[in-house]
Chain A
Amino acid sequence: MNLPSRKQLSPMRDFIVSRGVSGAVSLLLVTFLVFVGTALLPGDTASALLGQNATPEALAALRRDLGLDQPLLLRYLGWFAHAVRGDFGTSLASGRAVSEVLLPRLGNSLLLASVAAVFLLPVAVGGGIAAAIWQDSWFDRLLGFTSMLFLAMPAFLVGYILIYVFAVRMGWFPSMSVAPFFGGAAAWINILALPVISLVIIGQAHTMKLTRTAILAVLATDYVLMAEVKGISRRRIILRHALPNALSAILSISILTVAYLIVDVVVIEMVFSYPGLGKLMVDSVSYRDLTVVQACGLLFALIFIGMNFLADFLALLVNPRQREPARGA
């Protein structure tokens, strides 16, 4: 075996550099769009805070205090200069540091998303693999039907149906995940149950279909046929010949599923009034709390881009074509 040379490592390095740069550009664009988008909404923080009692003088004074009298671009650049140093400013609405407002909410959202992922991924990936192996069986058809059904249903509708059935009719779970939390694990399960079930139902369809397709594509290849002709057992064909080749696809699908979960979380948090990042962002938009919205937008984009990067990076790692140079020594 020859030692890994510079040439061998370079596809990986090229990948990291190019994706790093494009990721940074995407982040920059997202923050700018969120900034402009929030500024375009009628009204601003000052009018939202003062409400109907606002006098023009009070508004002007508050705007001066909050720095809202500056031109938009200048405000963005000011925000940006601070943000790159890790300072996201203070919440315009509450006056507290943005990070102080954000971090507990981020924790709640990550908890919700990760609990959902723990249930969703094995169900969806396992279901997808099983559906592919028993293609066209009643099991495959049933999964295909239910996943189409849930794929076609908006996220909030799933949430409201669950609330109606399990909270209103059965009374098993609370319809709202109201803070503050206390009462230990049991209380957590009680609060998380319905949002997690909603997220699993919404997310599984997409993931299961993609996994099924990925496995079917591999099962239709010539090398799987070759293994069959060689007399390899069905079990070994699936475990040793097919799955490793579908691994990169399944990894990408799983990680993208988690990324989509983060998006679904916003809607589900609103439906269940769950005190997470998504609800914070939506509430902050109604207060025109630009700094908080901006930080939330940045966090969501960061998670999404990071997940995409991770997905592609892992896909690269498990693919011998990418790992090994085309022609060996």
Chain B
Amino acid sequence: MENTVLSIEGLCINARAPILQDISLQVRRGEIFGVIGESGAGKSTLAMAMVGLLRAGCHRVAGKVTLAGQSLFDLSQLQLEQVRRRKVSYVAQSAAAAFNPFYRLGDQVTELAALELGTPLAERRKMAEGLFRELQLPNPETFGMRYPHQVSGGQLQRAMIAMALINDPDLIIFDEPTTALDVTTQLEVMRLIRKIVTARGCGAVYISHDLAVVAQLADRLMVLRHGKVVETGATRDLMESPAQDYTRALVAAKTTTSPPVHAETSVPIIALRDFAAGYGGVSTVRDINLDLSAGHITCLVGESGSGKTTLARAIAGLVDVHGGTATFHGKPLAPRIESRPREARRRLQYIHQLPDLALNPRQKVREAIGRPLAFFGGVTGAAAEERLRMLMRDVELPEDLLDRSPGSLSGGQKQRICIARALAADPEVLICDEVTSALDPLVEESVIQLLLRLMQTRPLTLLFITHNLGLTRRFAHEVAVMQAGRIVEFAPAAQIFAAPQQAYTRTLLEATPMMARGWMEARL
């Protein structure tokens, strides 16, 4: 087809094991082609192959990549470099890492203009200024004089898109460009991408693990799993009538609303009044009034830097408390964990975002879970063995994992081990700090379902910290919205989502990508 910018036919790439198997796709001018898959699906290898690049240790076994009429793997190194300079651009996930810290942004953005066309400096400044203006960057005249570390993550991401536009490419590859951004910034970048592709008529590939984002942006979609194509088709068709089980599960994980089981009582188990906390004398969170109702899930939402984690850590006694009161079952809760009696510590357990960092890599799973059993419950010997097996059953893991090291487990398994470790203390309150944000969508869904099942069988109260409003909508009883260290709105979930009272809550809700058709169009 004349309109085709990129075509991949039967591409197979191996490292030691196959990474990509028999991948075929075509991208046309003016369309956004979405690639969705979980980590390890081969998304990044595919993205690199689109510019004719194979990472160290990888080799192409079969297949062809044709970009702008040239078969990339048949070109010499010099020809390949020329194609990359003229025909294609790449927008990486972490703009902070993809910009060279040594040079000013303007010089990096216009490097290709200098190399290819020999554009003089003054003219390049003008080009950069124009692009920065197009991408709505602040002070476009002087933005290029900044170094990468001097601008925010969202601005850097936009600067990288400016860099991608400098050579007026036929194809732009977006490799998870919004994963590191807050929802409101993510929406801005999504709008920009849509606008650019429409205005310039270039082709685009958008790679992501977030189905909601891809569903809104892409015209056509390819689902990738374990290096193989699960299915390809128009986004609408895939969303509405997925042919494969895996796609169905992905869609279901984003759309099902499992109404949470409402607990009978709603007595506050933890109550904060005018609570303030922070690091080194600076109160990062202030004026906090929050009740955690027994048996409920309270979601603490907000963008990065809003103080969610600081507040959670302050409740756990890990951060200096600067004022106000915290009570547990109506009795004052000592501010520092060191001054809390063992019994109080047992009743409040914390699960971290990254299980990799929260588990000692040298400890076997048995030791990791056994320690709180012995420390809080004094359970040892045969009784402990019995409890360990029960806990493994509770978190739905096979018992033989007890003798494994964390290094040999998957991300989802590790997070389940962390949950089991917290449960070993037999707690009343679980603080879950972004416990699923490092997990793939289906694994995230299974961990959420696990937490819900656990809450049915024991009296647990959850403080669930997340930036994922889609998730919050599906399982929170109460929602507290944080902004700049304060709770701007705290209400039952139904009320927050149906009738948000605060402008900021509305902004957040607006920006959260939904699967519904037309969501993106309504925001252009």
Residues in A lying within 8 Å of B, measured CB to CB: 1, 221-223, 225-234, 236, 241, 244-245, 320-321, 324-328
In the bound complex, CA of A232 to CA of B77 (Å): 11
Residues in B lying within 8 Å of A, measured CB to CB: 48, 51, 53, 77, 80-86, 89-90, 92, 94, 97-102, 111-112, 115, 145-147, 149-151, 163
**B residues in contact with A229, CB < 8 Å:** 48, 51, 53, 84, 90
With A230-B84, A245-B100 known to touch, is A324 a contact of B90 (CB < 8 Å)?
no
In the bound complex, CA of A264 to CA of B145 (Å): 46
In the bound complex, CA of A1 to CA of B84 (Å): 34
In the bound complex, CA of A327 to CA of B51 (Å): 34
Assess whether A223 is in contact with B97, with CB atoms less than 8 Å apart: yes
Can you list 24 contacts pairing A with B, beta carbon distance less than 8 Å?
A: A221-B97, A222-B97, A223-B99, A223-B101, A225-B98, A226-B100, A229-B48, A229-B53, A229-B90, A230-B84, A230-B85, A231-B84, A231-B85, A232-B85, A232-B111, A234-B77, A241-B100, A245-B100, A320-B102, A321-B149, A324-B149, A326-B150, A327-B150, A328-B150
**B residues in contact with A244, CB < 8 Å:** 102
Assess whether B98 is in contact with A231, with CB atoms less than 8 Å apart: no
In the bound complex, CA of A225 to CA of B175 (Å): 13
Interface centre among A226, A232, A324 (most CB of B within 10 A): A226
Total A-B pairs, Cβ < 8 A:
70
- Shortest CB–CB separation between residue A120 and chain B, in angstroms? 27
- Nearest A residue (CB) for B175: A229
Assess whether A326 is in contact with B84, with CB atoms less than 8 Å apart: no
In the bound complex, CA of A232 to CA of B80 (Å): 10
Assess whether A245 is in contact with B84, with CB atoms less than 8 Å apart: no
The prevalent SS among residues of A at the interface is: helix
**A residues in contact with B48, CB < 8 Å:** 229
- Sorted from nearest, which 8 A-B pairs have the closest CB atoms? A231-B84, A231-B85, A222-B97, A231-B81, A223-B100, A226-B98, A229-B90, A244-B102
Assess whether A227 is in contact with B81, with CB atoms less than 8 Å apart: no
- Shortest CB–CB separation between residue B53 and chain A, in angstroms? 6
Assess whether B100 is in contact with A227, with CB atoms less than 8 Å apart: yes
- Nearest A residue (CB) for B48: A229
In the bound complex, CA of A70 to CA of B115 (Å): 75
**A residues in contact with B81, CB < 8 Å:** 231-233
- Nearest B residue (CB) for A325: B150
With A231-B85, A232-B81 known to touch, is A321 a contact of B98 (CB < 8 Å)?
no
In the bound complex, CA of A225 to CA of B82 (Å): 16
In the bound complex, CA of A221 to CA of B80 (Å): 21
- Shortest CB–CB separation between residue B166 and chain A, in angstroms? 9
Kindly list 15 other residue pairs between chains A and B, CB separation below 8 angstroms, not including A222-B98, A230-B85. Answer: A223-B97, A226-B90, A226-B92, A226-B99, A228-B53, A229-B84, A230-B90, A230-B111, A230-B112, A231-B85, A232-B85, A241-B100, A245-B101, A324-B149, A328-B150
